[in-house]
Amino acid sequence: MIDANERYERKRLQVMGKDLSYVEEGKGDPIVFLHGNPASAYVWRNILPFLTEYGRCIAPDLIGMGQSQKIIPSGDRTYRLGDYQLYLDGLLGALGVTRKVTFVLHEWGSVLGFDWARRHPDALKGIAYMEAIVRSLSWEEWPEETVKTIRDLRGKDGERLALTDNVVVEKLLPATTRRALSDAEMEAYRRPYLIPGETRRPTLSCVRDLPIDGEPKDTQRTVEEYNAWLRTSDVPKLFVNCDPGYLLVGSHRWACREFEQQTEITVSALHYPQEDSPMKLTAGLIDWYRTL
């Protein structure tokens, strides 16, 4: 059963003067859940509670997203990859996430989690990932409608589309979920972005920071570095293959199958397996985690 309600209480921690919201449930080795754009810890509501008997489950809201504080003032140079890395590093450090760490990664959260893993290889226990960015993306492997939406957001109309019309939440999110999200679920996803303008900046910056055909170069460099590490690392990995999928498809899907020490499961989903197949995803995560 898919529940629209969160099953856990939020905690808050100050990192570099900003309040970051996160979930922390369970005891043991840390299991860190990182969400994508425009989601929050809310997206893990039907998965995380069932992992708490296996470890210390931590699910942050990335800076400016979910219930975490916004960067003020903000503009087209904020909510870049470096900002997210800085605040996430600070949060995980403050929470003592330093050893036997398992990541559960989705979309934009995969960039942050993979890069953290590359920089802290001795701290890892395992990495599970879904609809992740495993290497630079390509316009050629997306449907025409998707290409148009993403190009528009990365172009001169991006501010109007994201900051005024809120298309990342109102259009991209439901379009990339296989089932119809309920009113309550859409309300939860909208809540951090109700006020037009800069409060919605994170949703635009994440789209503009996606490494597509080599741009932007700084994100591309980060992805190339962790891709090289992923291809040779012996850290146990779980690839959650989404069928039919949306982001991790085509040659990218086959490329990640070359990673060392990897198990694969398939769930029915477009871009959000947490919404389309939460129970099968949860069962797969538990079965894999028990082997670590």
DSSP string, 153-195: HHSTTHHIIIIIS-HIIIIIHHHT-SSPPPHHHHHHHHGGG-S
Neighbours of 128 (CB within 10 A): 25
Sheet with strand 101-107: strands edge to edge: 11-15, 18-25, 56-60, 30-34, 101-107, 124-132, 237-244, 262-269
pLDDT score of 143: 80
Supply the angle between the helices 108-119 and 217-232 in degrees, to the nearest 10: 60
- What SS3 class is residue 229? helix
Q: How far is CA 3 from CA 46, 57, 185, 253, 275, in A?
A: 7, 19, 9, 30, 10
Nearest of 263, 262, 242 to residue 253 by alpha carbon: 242
Query: Two tokens at 140?
Result: 């050629």
Amino acid present at 267: V
Q: Where are the domains of the chain?
A: 11-289
Q: How far is CA 18 from CA 12, 76, 234, 250, in A?
A: 10, 19, 36, 39
Give residue 44's region: left, alpha or beta (phi > 0; psi -120 to 50). alpha
pLDDT score of 133: 97
pLDDT score of 1: 66
pLDDT score of 184: 96
CATH T-level fold of 11-289: Rossmann fold (3.40.50)
CB 137, CB 246: distance < 8 Å: no
CB 269, CB 79: distance < 8 Å: no
Query: Two tokens at 187?
Result: 């309300």
pLDDT tens for the 292 residues of the chain, in order? 689 999 889 999 999 999 999 999 999 999 999 999 999 999 999 999 999 999 999 999 999 999 999 999 999 999 999 999 999 999 999 999 999 999 999 999 999 999 999 999 999 999 999 999 999 999 988 888 889 999 999 999 999 999 999 999 999 999 999 999 999 999 999 999 999 999 999 999 999 999 999 999 999 999 999 999 999 999 999 999 999 999 999 899 999 999 999 999 999 999 999 999 999 999 999 999 999 9
pLDDT score of 2: 85
pLDDT score of 145: 82
pLDDT score of 50: 96
Nearest of 43, 159, 20 to residue 108 by alpha carbon: 43
DSSP string, 25-64: ES-SSEEEEE--TT--GGGGTTTGGGTTTTSEEEEEPPTT
List % helix, strand, coil for the chain (3-state, nearest 5): 45, 20, 35
pTM of the model: 0.97
Nearest of 269, 263, 270 to residue 286 by alpha carbon: 263
- In sequence order, the 6+-apart residues with CB closer than 8 A to the CB of 170 are 190
Nearest of 258, 242, 287 to residue 107 by alpha carbon: 242
